[in-house]
């Protein structure tokens, strides 16, 4: 397979992984809203008190699998679960608050005149919107959980959902992924870390076209956990992931929540023939066909670049990278020649090329452009 490893790594680092300054800004907005809830919640409900420990990081941010958006209509999604004791979630008459009432409470606490769009109640969270019209478009979601102990003193957490309270563990998925990464790293150094990177690359592939309707990040993460195979090179690891993914989806399009502690595992897909799962299988097969050229003996760098550009729709990144590498090679060649000349070690071949002194070359005479006593 043609070696395109370094190019894939650079693409991942520069165009897939979230830049550190962007990550810091998003986390700052998450914290600002959490601080607003902590400070203002007692003003809206005198029985409710929360602090920083009541918030639980969730989703792709918690799992470190968030990727850069490519299209203007895409938003960064930051999930920050809020856990409140059930005993505090009561109305003035002593009755328990409904999920809708709890979400309405948190929405009102989060309202701020500085927002162009005020927070909104969604099915399973309260959403705060930011930057509607630029590359930093994002929102912060606050799923709300009530916590209590059952008759056997087990801690129970239930999320305020669209149809009522339902059992849910806000940090379960990211804890599951962290454990899996650690397990694979223990089996083979770097394997678990590479698996996490494959989640990002698969997300980028699935989000590379605006007209593709692909499975969400949760389903893709579960599929990578099933299909990942470690390789020294990132390009080989991703190619093999596509092979394993196609084979897996050929016989079964159902995706299970591997983070679910109960057996049988909960299904993430709606049916056994979800259209976006069928589309993913077809796209994976197309990608494998596009990459077939990498296995030809006469495959050139331009061929590899075109194939990988089809996979990720790099917006010219791979081509620009090639041009930079060519320019850098020329620069290094000129620097090497200048060094030879400056040290008096330069010679000229019959073809006029400057090389180091030796063999049949003739040493270059010292040059004096301005006279000996200028």
Dump pLDDT digits (tens) for 99-152. 999 999 999 999 998 888 899 999 999 999 987 656 678 899 999 999 999 989
Rounded to whole angstroms, the Cα distance separating 55 from 206 reads 31
- Name the DSSP letter for residue 298: T
The CA angle 318-323-324, to the nearest 5 degrees, is 95
> Of 18-22, 191-195, 271-275, 345-349, which gets the smallest average pLDDT?
345-349
Residue bearing the bigger pLDDT, 241 or 364? 241
Asked whether residue 357 carries a pLDDT value surpassing 70, the answer given is no
Asked whether residue 367 carries a pLDDT value surpassing 90, the answer given is no
- Given pLDDT bands bounded at 50, 70 and 90, which one contains residue 203? very high
Asked whether residue 179 carries a pLDDT value surpassing 70, the answer given is yes
Q: Domains in the chain, start-ordered, CATH in brackets?
A: 5-170 (3.30.460.90), 174-299 (1.10.1410)
Q: Please report the beta strands in the chain, taking only residues with DSSP state E, as ranges in sequence order.
A: 55-58, 76-85, 120-121, 126-130, 138-142, 144-149, 155-160, 165-167, 346-348, 354-356, 362-363
> Of 161-175, 224-238, 240-254, 279-293, which gets the smallest average pLDDT?
161-175
The backbone torsions φ and ψ at residue 231, rounded to the nearest 5 degrees and listed phi first, read -140, 155
- Given pLDDT bands bounded at 50, 70 and 90, which one contains residue 363? low
Q: Percentage of the chain with pLDDT > 90?
A: 74
Query: How much is the pTM?
Result: 0.84
Average the pLDDT over 336-365 and give the result.
60
Whole-number pLDDT of residue 345? 62
Whole-number pLDDT of residue 264? 83
Asked whether residue 355 carries a pLDDT value surpassing 80, the answer given is no
CA within 13 Å, CB half, 255: 27
Mean pLDDT of the chain: 89
SS3 content of the chain, % helix, strand, coil (to 5): 50, 15, 35
Q: Which two tokens stand for residue 64?
A: 């470190």
Q: Which two tokens stand for residue 320?
A: 């620009």
CA within 13 Å, CB half, 123: 3
- What three-state secondary structure class fits 126? strand
Dump pLDDT digits (tens) for 3-51. 999 999 999 999 999 999 999 999 999 999 999 999 999 999 999 999 9
Q: Percentage of the chain with pLDDT > 70?
A: 86
Dump pLDDT digits (tens) for 295-307. 999 999 999 999 9
Facing residues of 121 across strands? 126
Asked whether residue 351 carries a pLDDT value surpassing 90, the answer given is no
Rounded to whole angstroms, the Cα distance separating 200 from 143 reads 24
Average the pLDDT over 279-307 and give the result.
97
Whole-number pLDDT of residue 374? 43
Q: Which two tokens stand for residue 306?
A: 């075109």
Rounded to whole angstroms, the Cα distance separating 340 from 361 reads 13
Whole-number pLDDT of residue 130? 87
Dump pLDDT digits (tens) for 41-89. 999 999 999 999 999 999 999 999 999 988 877 889 999 999 999 999 9
Rounded to whole angstroms, the Cα distance separating 85 from 158 reads 10
Whole-number pLDDT of residue 240? 98
DSSP notation for 231-292? -SSHHHHHHHHHHHHHHHHHH----B-TT--SSSPPB-SSSTT-HHHHHHHHHHHHHHHHGG
- Given pLDDT bands bounded at 50, 70 and 90, which one contains residue 222? very high
Asked whether residue 373 carries a pLDDT value surpassing 60, the answer given is no
Asked whether residue 364 carries a pLDDT value surpassing 50, the answer given is yes
């Amino acid at each position: 397979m043609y070696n395109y490893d370094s190019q894939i790594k650079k693409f991942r680092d520069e165009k897939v992984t979230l830049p550190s300054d962007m990550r810091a800004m998003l986390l700052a907005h998450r914290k600002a809203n959490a601080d607003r809830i902590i400070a203002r919640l007692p003003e809206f409900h005198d029985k409710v008190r929360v602090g920083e420990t009541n918030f639980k990081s969730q989703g792709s941010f918690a799992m470190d699998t968030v990727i850069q958006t490519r299209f203007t209509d895409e938003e960064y999604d930051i999930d920050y679960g809020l856990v409140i004791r059930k005993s505090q979630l009561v109305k003035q008459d002593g009755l328990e608050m409904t999920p809708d009432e709890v979400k309405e409470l948190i929405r009102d606490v989060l309202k701020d005149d500085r927002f162009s769009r005020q927070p909104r109640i969604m099915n399973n969270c309260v959403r705060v919107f930011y930057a509607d019209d630029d590359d930093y478009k994002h929102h912060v979601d606050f799923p709300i959980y009530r916590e209590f102990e059952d008759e056997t003193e087990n801690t129970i957490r239930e999320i305020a959902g669209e149809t009522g309270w339902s059992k849910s563990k806000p940090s379960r998925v990211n804890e599951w992924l962290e454990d899996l990464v650690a397990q694979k790293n223990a089996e083979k150094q770097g394997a678990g870390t590479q698996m996490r990177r494959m989640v990002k690359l698969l997300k980028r592939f699935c989000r590379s076209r605006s007209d593709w309707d692909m499975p969400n990040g949760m389903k893709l993460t579960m599929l990578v956990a099933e299909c990942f195979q470690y390789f020294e090179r990132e390009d080989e690891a991703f190619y093999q992931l596509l092979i394993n993914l196609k084979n897996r989806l050929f016989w079964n399009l159902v995706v299970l929540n591997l983070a679910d502690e109960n057996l049988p595992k909960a299904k993430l897909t709606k049916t056994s023939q979800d259209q976006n799962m069928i589309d993913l299988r077809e796209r994976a097969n197309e990608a494998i066909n596009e990459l077939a050229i990498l296995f030809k003996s006469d495959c050139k760098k331009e061929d590899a670049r075109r194939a990988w550009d089809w996979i990720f729709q790099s917006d010219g990144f791979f081509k620009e990278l090639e041009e930079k590498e060519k320019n850098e090679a020329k620069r290094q060649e000129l620097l090497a020649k200048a060094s030879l000349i400056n040290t008096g070690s330069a010679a000229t071949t019959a073809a006029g090329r400057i090389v180091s002194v030796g063999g049949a070359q003739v040493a270059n005479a010292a040059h004096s452009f301005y006279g000996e006593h200028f």
